[in-house]
């Protein structure tokens, strides 16, 4: 129920709607719950609504920390 997935906004539509791309599958969703959605943004999609933006820099930082942990370095 609470599972959501990261998707990329490929096109903004009127009335706070947008087309998102999920591995080549397009779907119309609502972006009414997020501030200033932009084409190219990654958002967390849940029950047809984008509920938050995904921060690409933070994602990269998390992956770097995971690499460090896996390599046994001090994070």
Partner 1 sequence: MKYVDEFRRGDIARGMAAQISRLVDPAREYRLMEFCGGHTHAIARYGLTGLLPDNIRLIHGPGCPVCVLPIGRVDSAIELALRPDVILCSYGDTLRVPASNKMSLYQARAKGADVRMVYSTNDALQIARDNPHKQVVFFAIGFETTTPPTALALIQARQEKLANFSVFCNHVLTPPAMRHLLAAGDAVQLDGFIGPSHVSTVIGSAPYAAVAEEFAKPVVIAGFEPLDVLQAVAMLVEQINQGRTEVETQFSRAVTHEGNQKARERVAQTMTLRDSFEWRGLGQVPHSALAIHPDFAEFDAELRFALPYRHVPDHKACECGAILRGQKQPQDCKVFGIVCTPDNPLGSCMVSSEGACAAHYHYGRFVQGATA
Q: Which two tokens stand for residue 57?
A: 């820099």
Alpha helices in the chain (DSSP H): 56-70
Q: Which of residues 13-52 bind partner 1 (CB under 8 A)?
A: 22-23, 29-30, 32-35, 42, 44, 46-49, 51-52
Q: Which of 11, 39, 63, 64: binder of partner 1 (CB under 8 A)?
A: 63
Burial class (CB in 10 A: 0-12, 13-18, 19+), 9: buried
Least distance in angstroms from the C-beta of 12 to partner 1:
16
Q: Which residues bind partner 1 (CB under 8 A)?
A: 1-6, 8, 22-23, 29-30, 32-35, 42, 44, 46-49, 51-56, 58-59, 61-63, 65-67, 69-72, 75
């Amino acid at each position: 129920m609470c599972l959501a997935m990261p998707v990329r906004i490929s096109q903004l539509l009127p009335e706070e709607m947008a087309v998102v791309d999920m591995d080549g599958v397009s779907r119309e969703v609502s972006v009414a719950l997020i501030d200033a959605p932009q084409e190219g943004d990654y958002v967390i999609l849940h029950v047809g609504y984008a509920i938050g933006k995904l921060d690409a820099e933070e994602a990269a930082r998390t992956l770097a920390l995971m690499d460090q942990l896996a390599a046994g370095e001090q994070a």
